[in-house]
Amino acid sequence: MLMLALHIIGLVLSIKSNMKKVGHILGIVTSCVGFIPFVGMVLHILTAIFLLIEAAKNEVEISPLKHAS
């Protein structure tokens, strides 16, 4: 339940800041069906990968702006 709440908060924040939402949406789905043994494990791994990729892309997009100012 805690992770579901954190993914919902992350989704709201990403919508407000025009960032990618796929990782958080996948995290919400994973939190809802995560109790199924094999499916839950696979979905948690996929969610982690998507969130890491999105975070890395956001960092790359933000970094040049910081250096320009």
pLDDT, average across residues 41-67: 78
Tell me the two tokens of residue 30: 């994973």
Count of beta carbons in the 10 Å neighbourhood of residue 7: 22
| Nearest-10 Cα torsion for 10, 15, 21, 23 | 0
pLDDT, average across residues 5-24: 91
The domain in which residue 57 lies consists of 2-68
Whole-angstrom distance, CA of residue 43 vs CA of residue 19 = 21
Give the pLDDT of residue 11.
93
Give the pLDDT of residue 61.
61
How many residues does the structure list for the chain? 69
Q: Are 30 and 40 in contact (CB under 8 A)?
A: yes
Whole-angstrom distance, CA of residue 61 vs CA of residue 15 = 17
pLDDT digits (tens, 9 = 90+) for 23-53: 899 999 999 998 888 998 999 899 899 889 9
Task: Report the number of distinct structural domains present in the chain.
Answer: 1
Predicted TM-score (pTM) of the model is: 0.73
Give the pLDDT of residue 68.
54
